[in-house]
Structure 1
Amino acid sequence: MKKKERHQLLRQLVQQEVIQKQEDFVDILQKRGIDITQATISRDIKELQLIKVPAQEGGYQYNLPPEMNYNISKKLARLMKDAFVSIDTQKEFVLIKTLPGNAFALGTLIETAKYQEVFGCISGDDTVLIICRDEDSAERFQRRIISFI
């Protein structure tokens, strides 16, 4: 697994699960078939600037740094201005083309934003396919994205 993909997965994990120790990351990733060491996780935590916050069950858990927890719209707008190439719709599908290397981040931001129109998305290197709930949702979502440009 490439570093960028691993970092994205770690970001998702801290948002979805209670992870209290570096070993928790290692265990979760190994259960998913990803061979990883605690030393690699330690470096990733530093690079991602993960922080520990009080956990509801007691103790502490890893979390994203504060600036990553909010203002998705601002990040989405900045990414769209910097990397947008084109957008098109067909029925309930929206296809966004970006400069190479930017689509994965865009797809992650779209999914993190949890837009009502979006059922899910698939990201590649320079393309994001967004599956909307219906044709009207696809048109609304396209207008939303264009407003960021």
Structure 2
Amino acid sequence: MKKDERHQLLRKLVQKDVITKQEDFVDKLHERGIEVTQATISRDIKELQLVKAPAQNGGYRYNLPPEMDYDVSQKLSRLMKDAFVSIDTQREFVLIRTLPGNAFALASLIEAAKYKEMFGCVSGDDTVLVISRDEESAKRLQKKIISFI
């Protein structure tokens, strides 16, 4: 399993289950047939910036940090409805124009979504340039982004 996939699974586990210690993560992944060590989980926790917060049962549990505890899709949808101007593709490039001052936030959300079609993303004040892995990926990504409007 790739690190990005494991990180996504860990985020879901934290939201769904009460995870009180690193070994809980290891056990949950082993139940799914994913071999992982406690040292790997420790690094993942740091990279994901998971925090321990009081649990309802009186102990502590892992949680997502406040800024990560949101639905990227909902924020993308809201921003696209409020600030979208146009979108176009050329080969592996997707160019998105927004109202002035909105491109940085849009680029940040697109990066947070971690689309597999995306190689990288740069933005200015009113323009986001998404570099896709290939021409077909650019077309798929354009459709995904348009779906938020």
Normalising TM by the smaller chain, what interval? 0.5 to 0.7
Is the 2:51–2:65 contact (alpha carbons within 8 Å) kept by the matching residues of 1? Answer: no
1:84: Cα distance to partner? 0.1
The 1:16–1:101 alpha-carbon spacing in structure 2 relative to 1, beyond 3 Å, is farther
TM-score (norm 1): 0.58
Q: Secondary structure at the match of 2:96?
A: strand
What's the offset of the Cα at 1:53? 2.7
Amino acid in the other structure paired with 1:117: E
Alpha-carbon shift at residue 64 of structure 1 (Å)? 3.5
Q: Alpha carbon RMSD of aligned pairs, Å?
A: 2.8
What is the Cα deviation at residue 17 of structure 1? 6.8
> For structure 2, which runs of at least 5 residues remain unmatched after alignment?
1-45, 54-63
Partner of 1:39: none
Larger radius of gyration between Structure 1 and Structure 2: 2
Unaligned ranges ≥5, structure 1: 1-14, 19-51, 56-62
TM-score by length of 2: 0.58
Q: Percent identity?
A: 69
In the TM superposition, what whole-angstrom CA distance separates every residue of 1:96-129 from its partner, at most 9, and x where no partner exists?
0000110000000000110010011001110000
Residue 64 (structure 1) aligns with: 65
Task: Indicate yes or no: 2:118 matched with 1:84.
Answer: no
Deviations 1:41-94 (CA, angstroms, capped at 9, x unpaired): xxxxxxxxxxx9329xxxxxxx6316x423100100000000000000000000
